[in-house]
Structure 1
Amino acid sequence: MNIVIIKYNAGNIQSVLYALERIGATAQVTDDHEQIRKADKVIFPGVGEASSAMRYLRQHELDKVITSLQQPVLGVCLGMQLMCKHSEENDTTCLGIFDEPVKKFVSKDALFKVPQIGWNNIYDLKTPLFADEPENAYCYFVHGYFAALGEHTIATADYIQPYSAALHKGNFYGAQFHPEKSAAAGELILKNFIEKI
């Protein structure tokens, strides 16, 4: 199977490659439009800031490539947020695949530090992406912005308020958490993406 990880200026690419290796899969890291379009599965990783990431995608016309893809695509963390319509992070217009807006966590409670860093459980799991995953599985999150709950939500998490831990529309999937850093729970999600989606 030909798996491609999109190379751009906000990717946590090495840890995704290691996680795929652990489940016996290999991937090619590329920003070449043709290679991305030819892939069987595409992973769109992300760690960083929305406006500079979108600027880079537009400059390299990767925004057009991503939105035109027909095969299964998995956006991770910032990658998922960039697949939404708009992010409050520097008032950024994003790719518009998902309708859910991306908002900044606001907390008046000292118990809830922003960004959220650490393990949190996910629930209301839907679609084969979460096949055999137990409700309330623990996954690893690092984020100060979140996608609101909406019609595309396929997993929920709570931090300050309930929000979308994962999204799905057509061939596009997104995970706010980092499956590549989420131990067995994350490995199962990556395996499901490769084998069941």
Structure 2
Amino acid sequence: MTDIAIVDYGMGNLRSVHKALEHIAPDSTVVVTSDPAVVNKASRVVVPGQGAMPNCMSELKACGLQDAVIRAAHSKPFLGICIGLQMLFEESEEGHVKGLDILPGRVIHFPVKTMTTPEGLKLKVPHMGWNQVCQTVNHPLWKDIAKDARFYFVHSYYVDTPDTALIAAQTHYPFAFTCAVAKDNIFAVQFHPEKSHIAGLTLLRNFATWSPGF
């Protein structure tokens, strides 16, 4: 049986995620797969994603992986990364596309015209680079990670959810936005742990040993 399945629907930075997981879990079987049967049988599932949300959702369906991802999100340790976070929600402004509707909320674009610092300096969109992640809950995946650790971001859209209980961390750019969510067996992040050095590897190591209660 596969210990950790990384879902390949043609839209993720899979090599970096794969190498990072192999590094932190050398005794686990880590595979990149586009086979729904492998995803169904895996003990843990990681869904990364980069690019445009409409393309990601379209490719997920075209590859026959949508149902397998939904089942995984309801039944086993599940980690979403970047668009792997965004697709969990109801819909996205990007292309006005429907998400998987597993969690309540929308994915919205940074308001470009008002993206300025308190000093009036213009902030760039996409939000790209290192930024502090302020943890808002105690969670097993935050174990041994400083409460204001820095992680690497590349995105123009962020999650807006009415369910504040889902929020596991926030980042400021230039306002506070949700950058991590957690519910039951689901943990998902807007940043890229596979590109975030020690803090990111620690989060992935925590995921590889996480036993969520149902």
Smaller-chain TM-score bracket: over 0.9
Stretches (4+) displaced over 3 A: none
- For normalisation by structure 2, the TM-score amounts to 0.87
Report percent identity of matched pairs.
35
Unmatched runs of 5 consecutive residues or more in structure 2: none
Contact kept, 8 Å, 2:6 with 2:33, in 1: the verdict is yes
Query: What is the aligned partner in structure 1 of residue 194 from structure 2?
Result: 180
Amino acid paired to 1:38: K
CA distance in 2, matches of 1:89, 1:151: 25
CA distance in 1, matches of 2:69, 2:83: 14
CA distance in 2, matches of 1:9, 1:18: 17
CA distance in 2, matches of 1:125, 1:72: 20
Query: What is the aligned partner in structure 2 of residue 103 from structure 1?
Result: 108
Structure 1 position 53, deviation (Å): 0.9
Structure 1 position 6, deviation (Å): 0.3
Amino acid paired to 1:137: A
Q: Does 1:113 align with 2:124?
A: yes
Contact kept, 8 Å, 1:105 with 1:160, in 2: the verdict is no
Q: Does 1:9 align with 2:20?
A: no
Query: What is the aligned partner in structure 2 of residue 50 from structure 1?
Result: 53
Q: Which stretch of structure 1 is more off in the superposition, 80-89 or 121-130?
A: 121-130
Instruction: State the superposition RMSD in angstroms.
Output: 1.5
Amino acid paired to 1:12: N
Larger radius of gyration: 2
CA distance in 2, matches of 1:21, 1:33: 21
Structure 1 position 125, deviation (Å): 4.1
Q: How does 1:155-174 map to 2 (within 5 A)?
A: 155-174=169-188
CA distance in 1, matches of 2:60, 2:46: 15
Structure 1 position 12, deviation (Å): 0.7
Deviations 1:12-47 (A, max 9, x none): 100101212332435111111111011111110111
Unmatched runs of 5 consecutive residues or more in structure 1: none
- For normalisation by structure 1, the TM-score amounts to 0.94
Match of 1:93 among 82, 93, 98: 98
Q: Tell me, what secondary structure is at the counterpart of 1:55? A: helix
Q: How many residues align?
A: 197
Amino acid paired to 1:193: F
